[in-house]
Structure 1
């Protein structure tokens, strides 16, 4: 709920990010909203403070007055896939990747 900053997180399904209801939005989301960028961002890479790599999507919903009202943020931990790809690259391409 982007109308309730800093307590914007209203619902969570899963525990990928370990965020909790009542948490603030991410800095990236705050920067986008402050800049007036309400575009959807689909399938981007992000990283958690503990180093895990996420495949993320952010969809921003606009109210009737054209203000950012809410955001739906989806995150999938793809760290294992990134590690596997790195190992396969080393196997196929050699140790230095070339």
Structure 2
């Protein structure tokens, strides 16, 4: 599946595969959008491949932004979700939440 980019309620939704050839294009695309928008929200949940590489680039881009600009991205791999559920279900954490 190729990379699809959709905007739903001001959230950029990426779906498919992010190849190395897409990384520079996406970086430039997000930089261009941030020239006009103060807040950019990106959903990475439906990416099948290349999510980790894109997260690294988005993290770097986040660090370069001025204070008045905000880049928010979210998307979880199965391994991260499993770690989260293990932490939630751990009885030792019940006392921390109380």
Please, what TM-score do these two structures have when normalized by structure 1?
0.29
Highest RCO, 1 vs 2 (Cα 8 Å, sep ≥ 6): 2
Please say which structure displays the higher CA radius of gyration. Answer: 1
Per residue, is there more helix in 1 or in 2? 2
Please, what TM-score do these two structures have when normalized by structure 2?
0.29
